[in-house]
Amino acid sequence: MNSNYQPDEQGFYGDFGGAFIPEMLYPNVEELRQNYLHILGSDEFKTEFHRLLADYVGRPTPLYLAPNLSERYKTNVWLKREDLAHTGAHKINNTVGQVLLARKLGKKRIIAETGAGQHGVATATVCALMNMECIVFMGETDMQRQAPNVARMQMLGAEVRPAKSGSRTLKDATNEAIRYWINHPDDTHYIIGSVVGPHPYPDLVARLQSVISSEISSQLLSHTGRSKPDAVIACVGGGSNAAGAFYHFIESPEVQLIGAEAAGMGVDSGLTAASLHTGSRGIIHGSMTMLMQDEQGQITEPHSISAGLDYPGIGPMHAHLFSSGRATYLAITDHEALQAAFLLSRLEGIIPALETAHALAVLGKVSFGENQLVVINLSGRGDKDLSTYMQKADSYASVR
């Protein structure tokens, strides 16, 4: 695809991206850069990838016209049900693809970082299936707030290693995973769970997740006769589900792209993870992007009620879509996300992940026309967040 929105040879999306890594990581990242397009494009990979997506993951996931939400917001709200994919989130698309890729590269061990645990579970699952050793790094704080997913990873045979530095969340888990990779360069593949990190990861993950927008397009066509919606909405931490949901619509300016980032207690509260609203240009985890930092260039601690969005940076592709104006990003508070989660549960009988709830909250902030087609990427299910929801249940008892 010739485009202003695809990365160049060095992995830059406009001013953002690249590979800002210590030399110790260079051979690993370079090996990936030289091979990923060839492997992803090979018939053998495509056949195996799509077979597993269909038979193991359960794709295509439904595109569901949510009647009660639609009535509430006087428009047509379609939910792309990634929560119905095996392991309960879109993350599995990426891990199936990257484990296949790692096997082609002859790697024996998989490492991953995880925030909410969905990427860790998806990685542990595919490693179990393909008999690969699996180590998942997770912030100690996240291990506590996402305990069910820790148990799942362990049951699947993965080792979960706590990251004890910093705020003990996703950023620190990522640091630890990168350090492990530096110390084990030969036999280990690092599956980054989002469209972040050094080139080629943002592009690799976006391509593997692009199955989402590809399905949205064909399903919408069969349901409505139109292959393009008026708007696509997705939550953005690193931004992998949004990248996947936007992918095939990026070149169609008539499709409004809306990302929802986690404002935490509010963008001006000091307790936020809204990297586009409060951040500035800088380097995190090997990539030039928008990130939360102080005047000295020290990366600051994010806050969000959702572990999966609790990250001070964002994928470079989103930084570019934001700075070029191609996509709009709204900051959604913890409170707004919780409200949206309870609303979806009661209106449609679907308990969303806290991350996804941020995307759903956009409906309360942006008005759409009666005849418009609005697709929300329902990136994950909320089982893992039940204890948080239960703690808040009284405050949101009246949400209908």
Residues designated catalytic: 91, 113, 379
111-150: contacts with another protein (CB under 8 A):
none
Nearer to another protein, 299 or 360 (CB): 299
106 part of the interface to another protein, by CB under 8 A: no
Handedness of CA 230, 53, 309, 336 (dihedral sign): positive
Nearer to another protein, 296 or 391 (CB): 296
Nearest distance, CB of residue 207 and another protein, angstroms: 23
**Which residue in 171, 207, 318, 392 binds another protein (CB under 8 A)?**
171
55 part of the interface to another protein, by CB under 8 A: no
Tell me the window of 39-47, 108-116, 180-188, 389-397 that interacts with another protein (CB under 8 A).
Answer: 180-188
Binding string to another protein for residues 253 to 282, with x set by CB under 8 A, is what? -----------------------------x
162 part of the interface to another protein, by CB under 8 A: no
**Which residue in 6, 8, 24, 393 binds another protein (CB under 8 A)?**
24
Please give, one letter per residue, the 3-state secondary structure of the chain: CCCCCCCCCCCEECCEECCCCCHHHHHHHHHHHHHHHHHHHCHHHHHHHHHHHHHHHCCCCCEEECHHHHHHHCCEEEEEEHHHCHHHECHHHHHHHHHHHHHHCCCCEEEEEECCCHHHHHHHHHHHHHCCEEEEEEEHHHHHHCHHHHHHHHHCCCEEEEECCCCCCHHHHHHHHHHHHHHCCCCEEEECCCCCCCCCHHHHHHHHHCHHHHHHHHHHHHHHCCCCCCEEEEEECCCHHHHHHHHHHCCCCCCEEEEEEEEECCCCCCCCCCHHHHCEEEEECCEEEEECECCCCCECCCCCCCHHHCCCCCCHHHHHHHHCCCEEEEEEEHHHHHHHHHHHHHHHCCCECHHHHHHHHHHHCCCCCCCCEEEEEECEECHHHHHHHHHHHHHHCCCC
**Which residue in 134, 156, 178, 235 binds another protein (CB under 8 A)?**
178
84 part of the interface to another protein, by CB under 8 A: no
3 part of the interface to another protein, by CB under 8 A: no
**Which residue in 5, 20, 73, 396 binds another protein (CB under 8 A)?**
20
Tell me the window of 164-172, 230-238, 245-253, 341-349 that interacts with another protein (CB under 8 A).
Answer: 164-172
296 part of the interface to another protein, by CB under 8 A: yes
For residues 163-199, one letter each, b for 16 or more C-beta atoms within 10 angstroms of the residue's C-beta and e for the rest, the string is beeebbbbbbbbbbbbebbeeeeeebbbbbbbbbbbb
Nearer to another protein, 131 or 296 (CB): 296
Nearer to another protein, 202 or 282 (CB): 282
Nearer to another protein, 102 or 350 (CB): 102
**Which residue in 41, 185, 270, 369 binds another protein (CB under 8 A)?**
185
The order of strands in the sheet holding 256-264 is: 63-65, 76-81, 373-378, 231-236, 256-264, 327-333
Nearest distance, CB of residue 316 and another protein, angstroms: 14
- For residue 127, what are its two tokens? 């490693």
Alpha-carbon gap, residue 127 to 124, rounded angstroms:
5
Tell me the window of 71-79, 173-181, 225-233, 269-277 that interacts with another protein (CB under 8 A).
Answer: 173-181
Nearest distance, CB of residue 18 and another protein, angstroms: 7
Binding residue count for another protein, defined by CB under 8 A: 33
**Which residue in 146, 293, 304, 377 binds another protein (CB under 8 A)?**
293
Nearest distance, CB of residue 286 and another protein, angstroms: 7
Nearer to another protein, 30 or 383 (CB): 30
Alpha-carbon gap, residue 221 to 84, rounded angstroms:
21
67 part of the interface to another protein, by CB under 8 A: no
**Which residue in 7, 17, 18, 264 binds another protein (CB under 8 A)?**
18
238 part of the interface to another protein, by CB under 8 A: no
Could you list the residues that contact another protein (CB under 8 A)?
10, 18-24, 26-28, 165-166, 171, 175, 178-179, 182-183, 185-186, 282-286, 293, 295-300
